[in-house]
Amino acid sequence: MYDRISQLSIQRLDLEKRFSDYFGKTLQNYGTTYLGVDWKSPEAQLVRFAQIVKVFTDTQQFSVNDLGCGYGALYDYMKAHGFQDFHYFGYDLCADMIEAAKKKFQDQSLVHLIQGSVLEPHDYTVASGIFDLKLDISSQDWQEHVLETIAAMAKASNRAFAFNCRSKYSDPEYIKEQMFYGDPCFFFDWCKRNFSRHVALLHDYEAYDFTIIVRK
The mean per-residue pLDDT over the stretch 95-116 comes to: 95
Please report the sign of the dihedral spanned by the C-alpha atoms of residue 112, residue 105, residue 153, residue 124: positive
Instruction: For residue 82, give Cα distances in angstroms to 60, 160, 189.
Output: 9, 19, 32
* pLDDT value of residue 117: 92
- Please, what CATH class does the domain formed by 2-215 belong to? alpha beta
pLDDT band at 44 (very low <50, low <70, confident <90, very high): confident
Task: Tell me which amino acid residue 176 is.
Answer: K
122: amino acid identity, one letter: H
pLDDT tier at 7, thresholds 50, 70, 90 = very low
CA dist., res. 89 & res. 201, Å (int): 25
pTM score of the predicted model: 0.90
> Which stretch of 23-37, 92-106, 193-207 has the lowest confidence by average pLDDT?
23-37
pLDDT in tens, 57-81: 999 999 999 999 999 999 999 999 9
Quick one: pLDDT band at residue 11, thresholds 50, 70, 90?
low
pLDDT (tens digit, 9 = 90+) per residue, 142-190?
Answer: 999 999 999 999 999 999 999 999 999 999 888 999 999 999 999 999 9
Mean pLDDT of the residues in the chain: 90
Name the CA dihedral angle for 31, 34, 35, 41, rounded to a multiple of 10 degrees.
-150
